[in-house]
A and B are shown apart, each in its own frame.
Chain A
Amino acid sequence: MEPSRDDQLIADLQALRPTPRPQFAAELDERAAAGFPRRSRLPRLSLDRLRAVQPRRLLLPAGTAAVAAIAIAAVLVIGSLGGSSSSSTSQQHGSTLGDLQYFDGSGHYAKPAPEARSLTSGASAAKGATNGKAEIEPFSQNLMFSRNLNSSFTPRHRDVERSAEVVLAAQPEDVAGDATRVFEAVHANNGIVMRSSTQEGAAGEAGASFELLIPSHKLGDAMAAFSEIDAVRSRREATADITAPTVSAAVLLKESRARIDSLLAQLEGAETEEEREAIEAELRHERRHASRLAAQLTHLHRRADFSRVALRIETGSSESSGGGAWGIDDALHDAGHVLTVAAAVMLVALAALGPIALIALIAWLTHRAWVRRERRRVVG
């Protein structure tokens, strides 16, 4: 085809060019002047708006949101860890002795009196329950006791076993003097030194350790005295409620003794040698049983009467930051802990979101590929 025909064809094509209606053109101009306001209020509003923002402008808010999310998650996790730790502490390691409280089973909390113990026998148990210095009212609804005890025995106080651990930081040359002061503090509080060892030497090698029994009602005074000997590196106190086994043993002992009295009465009335021997055999058995129960009860009472205290005097740097003034090491340690928790949270979040994101990505890519294929198909 010669050029003139080409030009004619092009002119014909351009003449066939569709043109917009003036009314549509005017409306579109108005919309353009107004910044193309949306005509439909259907979804995708926020998505389109988000897409319209430059990616670099999204960095700051997105980064801030991510950091905030991590911080909130870390706080929540730390809070939950702290909460569970505190909970277990109150059960096993206890709170400070002065703040110790007990749930009485009826919605009330009450402080126990350490000295207000004790059930030396079934009879004295009842008496002690009546005359205890620290009574917890009401106590009859305690489910634990309602399961284990008969209704005639209603305890009115708790037996608590206490233990403590103290680590003192000392200079190597002070170890011997500190050890002496520990002995003095123990004796001043009527305590017992179960085991002790003192090691002299350089920092890190020198030290001392003690296993002590301190009367429970003097534990607070003793701990205060120990804390004054030298710098406290760490201090832990724990409590364990042994009321249930104590009361149970007391009740069983009471029943056993009643049984012995009954057998003695039967023995007096025995008429035949055979009957007497049978009763005596049963009596011996019951006395052994009562003896075991009495020993068990005594042991429980001793656990409640005396608190075990593990005291160590250490020299050299502390591996942990449990005591003393809060410093840079503690800050680094805490920061490391927080970062570890945050990393753990991120890991869990990624583990949960990763597969979902992957599926979403695959679905999006598949959909996009399908749309492109369909568009190609449309134009042949």
Chain B
Amino acid sequence: MEQTLVADASDAPREADLAFDRLYRSSRDDLFAYVAGLLRDTTAAEEVTAAAFERAYRKRNRFDPRRGEPRAWLFGIARNAALDELRHRGRQAELTAEPADPESLDTHAGAERSDRRLTVSAALERLQPGERELIALKFFAGLANAEIAQVLGTSESNAGTKLHRAMTKLREACDGTV
């Protein structure tokens, strides 16, 4: 992502608004997918997603492009908001998506594909929360490894290694389930 939230001082407000609008449009669904995967509650995910965009909008002038990509910055805000929501609920993070609707899967992809996805969903449940968050960031939100590293506050190589381990465990869990 080559977006920026900063602009020349002369037209800073307008340019920053436009940049944020671009960020919003490119990240809305991804952010919701990540938050919903983290919270496993559609209503709460909508609240947190809206709150995260609102917080980011209020802080848009404080964004420092030297510290990372806008998308990673936005997901960091959403992550904190989602974790705070989980803390307040007193719940342990559960990072899989909501249970898939078998009828919907049957309708769109056929029975075999539906079974396989239910298997993946069940395998996700058996992963460690941190591992599931990595998968949610990567495959629900579509973040690059560098962005994941920025969101989690770690190095890119470390994020890549962790993601690889998480995928390996997910495959093993799928095989075990099957």
Contacts and interface: CB of A to CB of B under 8 A. Distances in A.
Contact of B135 (A13, A53, A375, A380): A13
Nearest to B127: A380
A379 B109 contact: no
Given A18-B32, A18-B98, A378-B86, A28 B61 contact: no
The 4 closest A-B pairs by CB, nearest first: A18-B36, A380-B129, A13-B139, A375-B83
Interface range, B side = 35 or more
A379 B121 CA distance: 18
A4 interface: no
Given A49-B58, A378-B92, A15 B109 contact: yes
A28 B117 CA distance: 29
Interface in A1-40: 1, 5-6, 8-10, 12-21, 24-25, 28-29, 31-32, 35-36, 38-39
Nearest to B58: A52
A54 B61 contact: yes
Contacts of B61: 52-54
A15 B53 contact: no
Interface of A: 1, 5-6, 8-10, 12-21, 24-25, 28-29, 31-32, 35-36, 38-39, 48-49, 51-55, 371, 374-375, 378-380
B43 to A, nearest CB: 9
Interface string B97-129: 110100000000100010011001100100011
Contacts of A379: 83, 93, 95, 129-130, 133
Given A17-B140, A18-B37, A51-B62, 17 more contacts: A9-B120, A13-B120, A13-B135, A16-B100, A16-B140, A18-B36, A18-B98, A18-B140, A28-B49, A31-B53, A32-B53, A35-B17, A375-B84, A375-B87, A379-B93, A379-B133, A380-B92
- Dominant secondary structure of chain A at its interface with chain B: helix
Contacts of A36: 53-54, 57-58
A168 B36 CA distance: 89
B12 to A, nearest CB: 8
B77 interface: no
Contacts, number: 122
Contacts of A14: 139-140
Contacts of A15: 109, 113, 117
B70 to A, nearest CB: 15
26 contacts: A9-B120, A9-B174, A12-B113, A15-B117, A16-B100, A16-B120, A16-B140, A17-B33, A17-B97, A18-B97, A28-B28, A29-B28, A31-B54, A32-B24, A36-B57, A38-B54, A48-B58, A53-B61, A371-B84, A371-B87, A374-B87, A375-B83, A378-B92, A378-B93, A379-B93, A380-B92
